[in-house]
Structure 1
Amino acid sequence: MTVLEEITHTGDNLVEQIVLDKHGPNLSTEIKEIQRLHKNHLWKKNQLLVENKPPGSTFEKQSFNIFERYVKVVVISRNERKLEPKNELTTVGTQHEKYMYEKRTAQECILNNKLFRWCGQLGCEPHTVMVRGVPGVGKTTLMQKFVCDWVNRKLYQRFSFIFFFKFRKLNQLHKVNLEMLILQEYPHLENHLDIILQNPEELLFIFDGLDESVHQMDFWSNKLLSNVKQVDSLDLIVVSLVKQSLLPGCYVLMTSRPTKLASIGTGVFQRVFEIMGFFSKEREIYFQSFFENKEISDTIFKYVKENATLYTFCYLPSYCWIICTVLSRSFQTTSSDQQVTLLPRTVTQLFAIFVANILSNHSLDKSDAQKILQSIGWMAQHGVMNHKIIFDERDLGSFNVDTSSQLLSSFLNETDQPPNVNFSFLHLTVQEFFAALVHYMDFNQEKLQKSLKDAQHYDDNRGEIFLRFLCGLSDVSTGSILKRYLGALSTRTSEIIIEWLHKTIHETWRENEYKDDNRKLLSAFVYLFETRNTSLVLQSLGSHKSFDFSYVPLTPLDCSVFPFILESCIETEKLNLESCSIQNEGLGRLSRALHTIRDLSLRNNSLKDGDVHLICSVLSQPNCKIQRLCLSRCNLTDSSCSQLACPISKSPSLRTLDLSDNRLEGSRFRDLMTALSSPTCRIEELILSCDGRQMDTSSIQLASNISKNHSLRKLNLCGSKLVGPLFAELMDALSSPSCRIQELILKDTGLTDGACTRLAMVIGNTQCLRKLDLSYNNLAGPHFGDLMAALSSPTCGIEELQLESIRLTDEYVSSLLLLKKSKNLKYLDLNRNYIGDNKTRQIREEMNELQKYFVAKALANNYNLNGRVYGTGIHWNFTM
């Protein structure tokens, strides 16, 4: 949507809205005073950002003014109305990388003051808005900032009153009416609430954390409320506000995790936005604000940026806090030798160190620590398997959690006051870590086997992170991080997990033989990465030399897994990453180990010229094994040619280079062609197919260099429009005695029968050409006979000829019969030509004669013959 569209559709109302948002509606003196009291109340409740103190001398929470510490998160608009039930953390990385790319190309990020902006699809301003985001991405903080900006007159003064509710706190409410709901949180409004509710268009209701609500919201229910004094269930009040039957004209802003929305749908909300978290700059700002010492901040951020796994998770503010918490201790309190063992390499190690740091600050013996962690571990396990993240005192009691333990507050957040106290883990992933850890602390084979089975088969993939941690804790070095505080972890659990993982990988391979779904195999790669078990990788994957992940979206975190797998496998013949949504950050993660592949395809990924340097660094490695490299459809321009020139001219291994369907035409294309003619260049096959574009003067540079290249054997220009003098230049080059081209593909290059004469000259002048593909050109015409004569010459060495869909008709059959004189022609493709439409006896006899000749030749020489002549009833298809 553009500003011009908004002005066109809203007219004078736009000016009124701008004025209203700046100055607010006219209120009586009495209501203004109540508004002032209300804003003061909201300011006191929301002005501080509370952050846990890193494990150290104290565990007291720190508070910061929201305007001083707030780091902007990226919010974008979502258009889809249906959400698939997938694991949030493992899928959001793909979207995050996509929008990082789109931001570089002017993708608009939504600011707080644009959440209720006029929408072109609706043709009006939305009244119901959903902001979704994965756990820890900053939904609550964003709402807190929204409220504080309103209080300080920075946005949306059109709202006379904002009512901010958290579902976590509303869980204790059951039968209430709207007035009771408001007054419970804002009792200072009691004497004026009737007047305030008379203008619903000036009211905004914010409900934070739909996924934390114990109430079942049925947004498609026909039962709705219209009276603010009518007592009913809390869920019905919320639904009635959203559907505008209660206080019609009011505004509702709600937040939720995506998994919750997948079960209820988003169609009821007029606009849906998503918080994408931190982009690169915001991540750095967060680290700078966390550490007072800039030198330490820079050192830690540099380490994190070089660690693919940690840096990828930094799009989540909550992960930034956990990472900073862990690394602040590692970098500030240990010697350089100790840092090597304390610095995390996997997500499992990150959380193991996080827990170890906390335990180190408590003078508990191992049995006490084990007891409390086992109890909260089984509670965490129950929560993960049952989609539960909010616990009450009854839950703690049923799992024998000692609420008097000082350690409890280090892992659980406590909200509200007795008797309605709620508990939740610091982060959902902390809960998932404890759910996995308890199986290593309190081994029970039956429980473990059930958890493995359940976690693997949940449709919403809720168990995926849990499974990662189970695999990660099987690593001896990871378990040793906690050994000092918890004792040795169960070796039997490790054995079962390794057996389960090995079996899972083999079953996945068998499944993939029958269906095109590599997401399970990718998950197995991640599990293997967490184990750090190279012998298990070899045992599970060593017999497989080819991996195909085409069309599987790969997050940067996924990409960071591949180097460990590929390096552990030692030798991989082929890796297909076509259409995997790989961009700059993901490619950077992959590049460390791509030199180990012989056949690498990165076709149709969202790369750019600025990313080519990563490919060049791979090709430039002295031990690079890449023989075939496909960079087709990667948005490259001629700027990338200069970068590629040096490595392809010097690479001792590279034999095939596919740069098709990029826009390489331009002045720098010359650099690539010059490199191609270098004596050190070993490239044998060059693919420069274009999607229907006309080759400009770049074909002249191509022509002038292919005749100088002594290694080039195959040239593919499929789809590149060759016309006029550019075609003549190419033909001259191919006719050169120094040209070594054996296979020439000119399929769909816009050739007409006028080109047949020049092609005939090339065939007559070269002894090297063995395969020629002229399919999908309009070659039918008076010069077609020249081409057939050249092909039937005794000196012609062509063995395979592709003439599919060249618009042949009956009148050219006599020219085709010349091919009977060919000495070397073994393969002829005449598919999609319409010879014999008239079904005359002469044509049938002539085509039968040609068919008999090639059939006899196929039988005599034991080679393939594959041809079809439409209209005659004759179909050739022989494989000898």
Structure 2
Amino acid sequence: MDQNVQPVQRREEHQSSSTNSPYISIAAQNGGQVSAVVLTQSTFHGDVNVTQNFSSTGSQISVSQISAEYKEFIVDRYKMVEEYNSILDEYVLLDKRYVDLLMIQKHREVKEREQELCSKGQRLQKILNSRNRDEYRRTSILQLFSPDDRGCVQKAVLLQANSGNGKSFTAQKIMLDWASGSLYTDKFDFVFHLKCRELNVTEDTSLEELLSGSITPEQITEVLRSSGRLLFLIDGFDELKLQKTTCTLLTDPHKTAPPKDILIALLQGKMLPKSFLLVTTRSTATPVLSKLLKPPYRFIEILGFSEKGVEEYFQRFFKDEGVALSRKAYECVKANQNLFTACFMPVICWIICIYIKERFQEGADLMSGLETTTSIYVHFVSTLLENHCQDLSHPVHDLLKSLGQLAERGMLEQKVLFDETVEADVSVPPLPMFLCKIPFRKRVHARPKFMVGFVHLSFQEFFTALYYVLLDEDESLRNIRKLLDVTNLGNGDDASAHGRNLNLQHSPVIQFLCGLCNEKVSAACIMETETYSLSVLPSIQTLMKKWILQVIAESGQIREGKVGKGIVFILHCLYELHEEDFVRKAMEAWEEIHLGITTLSTTDCWVLFYCLQCCKQISSLNLACCFGITADMLKMLQPALRRCEKLCLRMEELTDADANDLVLSLGEGNNLRYFRQHKGALSEQIVQSVLITLSKQKTVGVVGFLVKNISAETAVLLVNITQNTEVTDLNIKVNEACDASVCSYLSVSNSAGEFRVRISTYSAQIKPSLSKVHFTCPHTEISSIDWRGFLQTFHRINSSAGIYEGCEEDLVSLLGVLVSVSGLKEVELGFFSLTERWASWVLSIIQACPTIHKLKVDTDMWNGLILEEGVRLLESQKRPDCTLTVSGMRCQKPTDQCTVDPEKRFCHPLMMDLSCNQDVKLQF
């Protein structure tokens, strides 16, 4: 500072409609030149002191210099964000939280809206991802004021979003990026942020005074006079308390008036008509705003996070804790369909992340406390009520009941959207933050109408359940009993036989009721505010528990195939209730937990695991008819499955990496009654490990694995297990053709003292001469068979397309094995074609094995034939006590019959395409 300049102490206080009053302290003054100005501003973030230095001569103030210094102030003010749970002086950088939102410009049809409102989990994210395409005119903050398809730039943008979808964060991000020089630098010299919540005051003011929270009225005057490149960001129009929406004649920024009138003048273009507007609002206020906002304007809707956005938010939120926690937290949430559905709303995503972070810092399980769907919605409702409902005109209890009244109406009428007049039918105006308004146009109307709905169907279901527990006790019990009576789990095709009909239409409401009965959840309800607390009546808790036990008791009467969804629903009810002692009691009431035919989601497995974990021991769990069980689900269920005395399991895919979880799931001394995999293949080493585990089971039912290769060692191990363990049917199958395998399919079963062996093979290069050997014998004879030699010989015979050196010796060897089996009863053989050589071998078996009473021969129906030379030989069969049946294609021509040259068999056309060939069954 120049030594000739004398300090002047002067404070000028400028009144503003904002609750924060700015003070300007002129530090030094020399003639007409101002050297420094210190602004002290009490802001949303606390007291912020900003020193602004600018130079000007006389009364002429440089607008560019004001802009530069104003931007410094905005960066300092907007770079930090105060979160809902922040304590004093606790902030976080905005860039550590903000993730680009899914914004579209297309008005969707009512059916599309209903689709969005009713979908959950991956299906909802799939729908949102489909909105992220050009046909829905995806846009971004950067493009809000870009030219449209006709090259026009709208001077007003209406940015609509439901509560919790990021309107205010978006507004703050726009302010920060503009001031930082990364947004709209070529469009606007000044961007002013007006929060509608702070404009609900009656004291008159002027636009200059409204904007002077960061720069002086004198500077504002110069800016409004000199610059036409102004953007007014009007944030939260829905929070403006308008008594009427008439036009205003207010045009002068200097003139004082109620703040709301000044805002209307800006919206209508009466004041500063050359300026640009960006207005954020909930959809519930869009009808009013659309009548005020001077057309034309651009309409943009924020849908929330896309799937990619949710993942990015987790990465940003847990950046300080490391990638491992971020990944684990995201995968946990993604695995829970209900949590993942809720995460498309940024505020719920934040709630979930905050909770997970707290659990991590406490060293507790990440998901404890956010396990149930109800707990998520309770936290969400609490957050909005505590932070966005400071000036309620009605008690919270009455407002929630009005929401519930509307929600129940939608449930009973099976609607997610209503005519906007429905709001007048409820006793108290419902809270708009949980509702959305959707425009639609009927052909007979010139102007669009609006429909009202909850921001998602799940909120409609939640508020229905909340409504029932808020009613007086008698009315509450009456409504809940009525709901439970129509929600039955039975066979709709035969109601008279079982007394119940399948009706799960209102099952989510019942699940929310169970969740609200949980004492920890109800204690956290709005539960955290001083104005209202929720306590579910003991009579309601008793009613819900009694109903669950009754359904479980009757589930055994329900025919398999219809019970699946119903049983999964009851498991969800137990999970939402989350009372370990009662869950244990309920699970023990099931003699066998049979989920029937149903497709399990990851959330279903999560729920099933919780319920199983509450039990000390599980008698029987049947998942044999359940589709969709993946390796990740198996890993999740594994600690509980190993405690199942009897287990039936069906998996979509099993690989070497997953086999260890299967081994751990089986445990020792239990009963694996059924297992099937439909994809994947185990290596030889892994399949042998699994087979050894099976040998430690008490019993093995019908169990089959897909493998990469079947060696003689693996085959012998399988047979030995079947011989020494009580096995119903144990089989392995090569998933893809493998020439190194001794066979392609091996099955050994034991029933009523009879041992049945099925050996089959196929090859991608060579059609097997002997494609299968099946036989049945007494169990006591199984040990007499040289399995290794038998399978190796079987493999050699099928490794060549025709006669090879040593072929006759191999055929004699196979015959010797069959002859050595005492009590051989039935034999089934498969040939490529029935030639004279193979017919002779068949007769040798019949003559050498007197106990055989049934022998069946099949030929390859696609390429092979029953040749006349073979038929003539078989006709000489002289054993009347043995029935010989031959099935396949036979040429009906009396002369020049079709023949197959073994050397050219793959060049031969499909035999069944020849008109002279017919499918026959010959019995001798």
Structural mapping, 1:318-333, within 5 Å: 318-326=347-355
**Helix, strand or coil for the counterpart of 2:672?**
coil
CA distance in 1, matches of 2:688, 2:164: 40
CA distance in 2, matches of 1:637, 1:655: 22
Aligned equivalent of 2:536: 489
Aligned equivalent of 1:628: 674
Structural mapping, 1:232-631, within 5 Å: 256=303, 275=307, 278-279=310-311, 283=314, 285-287=316-318, 318-326=347-355, 343=369, 345-348=371-374, 372-373=396-397, 375-380=399-404, 382-383=406-407, 385-386=409-410, 398-400=426-428, 432-442=461-471, 443=473, 444=475, 445-449=477-481, 463-474=506-517, 486=533, 489-498=536-545, 500-501=547-548, 518-532=564-578, 533-534=582-583, 537-538=586-587, 542-544=590-592, 546-550=594-598, 552=599, 554-566=600-612, 570-572=618-620, 574-577=622-625, 579-580=627-628, 582-595=629-642, 596=644, 598-603=646-651, 605=652, 608-619=655-666, 621-622=667-668, 624-631=670-677
Q: How many angstroms does 1:87 deviate by?
A: 9.1
**Cα contact 2:669–2:696 (8 A) shared by 1:** no
2:846 to 770, 776, 792: 792
Q: How many angstroms does 1:622 deviate by?
A: 3.7
CA distance in 2, matches of 1:72, 1:594: 42
CA distance in 1, matches of 2:726, 2:285: 62
Q: Kindly tell me: are residues 144 and 798 of structure 1, through their superposed partners in 2, closer, same or farther at Cα, counting changes over 3 Å?
A: farther
Q: How many angstroms does 1:527 deviate by?
A: 2.0
**Cα contact 1:808–1:835 (8 A) shared by 2:** yes
Aligned equivalent of 1:122: none
**Helix, strand or coil for the counterpart of 1:780?**
coil
Deviations along 1:441-479, whole A, 9 cap, x unmatched?
43323433455578999x999855432111233456766
Q: Kindly tell me: are residues 695 and 326 of structure 1, through their superposed partners in 2, closer, same or farther at Cα, counting changes over 3 Å?
A: closer
Aligned equivalent of 1:697: 740
**Cα contact 2:99–2:309 (8 A) shared by 1:** no
**Helix, strand or coil for the counterpart of 1:493?**
helix
Q: How many angstroms does 1:396 deviate by?
A: 10
Q: 1:448 is aligned with what amino acid?
A: I
CA distance in 1, matches of 2:427, 2:788: 77
Q: 1:699 is aligned with what amino acid?
A: V
Q: How many angstroms does 1:658 deviate by?
A: 1.7
Aligned equivalent of 1:191: 274
CA distance in 2, matches of 1:665, 1:802: 28
Aligned equivalent of 1:778: 832
Aligned equivalent of 2:908: none
Q: How many angstroms does 1:560 deviate by?
A: 0.8
CA distance in 2, matches of 1:808, 1:494: 73
Aligned equivalent of 2:818: 763
**Helix, strand or coil for the counterpart of 2:832?**
coil
Structural mapping, 1:658-737, within 5 Å: 658-660=704-706, 664-665=708-709, 685-690=729-734, 693-699=736-742, 720-721=762-763, 737=785
Q: How many angstroms does 1:208 deviate by?
A: 9.9
Deviations along 1:402-454, whole A, 9 cap, x unmatched?
99xxxx99x9999xxxxxxx999999867754542443343323433455578
Q: Kindly tell me: are residues 562 and 875 of structure 1, through their superposed partners in 2, closer, same or farther at Cα, counting changes over 3 Å?
A: farther
> What fraction of aligned residue pairs are identical, expressed as a percent?
14
Give the structure-2-normalised TM-score: 0.52
**Cα contact 1:788–1:819 (8 A) shared by 2:** no
Aligned equivalent of 2:40: none
- 622-631 or 380-389, larger mean C-alpha shift: 380-389
Q: Kindly tell me: are residues 354 and 135 of structure 1, through their superposed partners in 2, closer, same or farther at Cα, counting changes over 3 Å?
A: closer
Deviations along 1:664-705, whole A, 9 cap, x unmatched?
249xx89967975888995955433346x43232438999x9
**Cα contact 2:769–2:802 (8 A) shared by 1:** no
Q: 1:781 is aligned with what amino acid?
A: T
Q: Kindly tell me: are residues 797 and 320 of structure 1, through their superposed partners in 2, closer, same or farther at Cα, counting changes over 3 Å?
A: farther
Aligned equivalent of 2:84: 53
Structural mapping, 1:144-223, within 5 Å: 184=267, 190-191=273-274
Deviations along 1:389-410, whole A, 9 cap, x unmatched?
999999699555899xxxx99x
CA distance in 1, matches of 2:537, 2:875: 79
CA distance in 2, matches of 1:566, 1:158: 62
Aligned equivalent of 2:198: none
**Cα contact 1:598–1:628 (8 A) shared by 2:** no
Q: 1:372 is aligned with what amino acid?
A: V
**Cα contact 1:606–1:634 (8 A) shared by 2:** yes
CA distance in 2, matches of 1:774, 1:735: 22
**Cα contact 1:743–1:769 (8 A) shared by 2:** no
Structure possessing the higher radius of gyration over alpha carbons? 2
CA distance in 1, matches of 2:347, 2:94: 16
Q: 1:739 is aligned with what amino acid?
A: W
Q: How many angstroms does 1:561 deviate by?
A: 1.7
CA distance in 2, matches of 1:435, 1:612: 45
**Cα contact 1:135–1:427 (8 A) shared by 2:** no
Q: Which runs of 5+ in 2 are unaligned?
A: 1-63, 104-108, 140-147, 151-160, 189-228, 248-262, 438-450, 490-501, 776-781, 896-916
Deviations along 1:259-293, whole A, 9 cap, x unmatched?
xxxxxxxxxxxxxx9636545x864653456x8xx
Instruction: Identify the structure with the greater strand proportion.
Output: 2
Q: 2:671 is aligned with what amino acid?
A: K
Q: How many angstroms does 1:563 deviate by?
A: 2.5
Deviations along 1:342-374, whole A, 9 cap, x unmatched?
84553345666888999999xxxxxx9x97346
**Cα contact 2:564–2:594 (8 A) shared by 1:** no
Q: 2:479 is aligned with what amino acid?
A: K
Higher relative contact order (CA 8 A, sep 6+): 1
Q: Kindly tell me: are residues 735 and 503 of structure 1, through their superposed partners in 2, closer, same or farther at Cα, counting changes over 3 Å?
A: closer
**Helix, strand or coil for the counterpart of 1:440?**
helix
Give the structure-1-normalised TM-score: 0.54
Structural mapping, 1:29-44, within 5 Å: none
CA distance in 2, matches of 1:688, 1:360: 61
Aligned equivalent of 1:21: none
CA distance in 2, matches of 1:298, 1:646: 39
Q: How many angstroms does 1:618 deviate by?
A: 1.3
Q: 2:846 is aligned with what amino acid?
A: S
Q: Kindly tell me: are residues 278 and 522 of structure 1, through their superposed partners in 2, closer, same or farther at Cα, counting changes over 3 Å?
A: same
Deviations along 1:158-178, whole A, 9 cap, x unmatched?
9999999999969999999xx
1:821 to 865, 869, 879: 879
**Helix, strand or coil for the counterpart of 1:630?**
strand
CA distance in 1, matches of 2:876, 2:683: 44
CA distance in 1, matches of 2:187, 2:554: 58
Q: How many angstroms does 1:557 deviate by?
A: 0.9
Q: Kindly tell me: are residues 98 and 214 of structure 1, through their superposed partners in 2, closer, same or farther at Cα, counting changes over 3 Å?
A: closer
Aligned equivalent of 2:31: none
Alignment pair present for 1:69 and 2:123: no
Instruction: Identify the structure with the greater helix proportion.
Output: 1
Q: 2:583 is aligned with what amino acid?
A: T
**Cα contact 1:629–1:654 (8 A) shared by 2:** no
CA distance in 1, matches of 2:876, 2:754: 31
**Cα contact 2:398–2:428 (8 A) shared by 1:** no
Q: 1:821 is aligned with what amino acid?
A: R
- 386-395 or 590-599, larger mean C-alpha shift: 386-395
CA distance in 2, matches of 1:448, 1:302: 36
Q: Kindly tell me: are residues 591 and 799 of structure 1, through their superposed partners in 2, closer, same or farther at Cα, counting changes over 3 Å?
A: farther
CA distance in 1, matches of 2:486, 2:246: 36
Q: How many angstroms does 1:329 deviate by?
A: 6.7
Deviations along 1:290-324, whole A, 9 cap, x unmatched?
x8xx8998999699789979987796555443334
Alignment RMSD: 7.5
